[in-house]
Structure 1
Amino acid sequence: MDKKVDKPAEGKRPAAANAPAKPRSASAERVRRHREKMKAMGLKPVTIWVPENYKSPEWKAEMRRQCQLIANDPHEQQILAEIEDWFDPEGWK
Structure 2
Amino acid sequence: MGINERVSKHREALRAAGLRPLQIWVPDTRQPGFEDACREQAARTADADRADAGLSAFADAALADLDEH
Fold match (TM-score > 0.5) = no
Relative contact order, CA 8 A, sep 6+: which one is greater?
2
> Which protein has the bigger helix share?
2
* TM-score, L = length of structure 1: 0.36
* TM-score, L = length of structure 2: 0.42
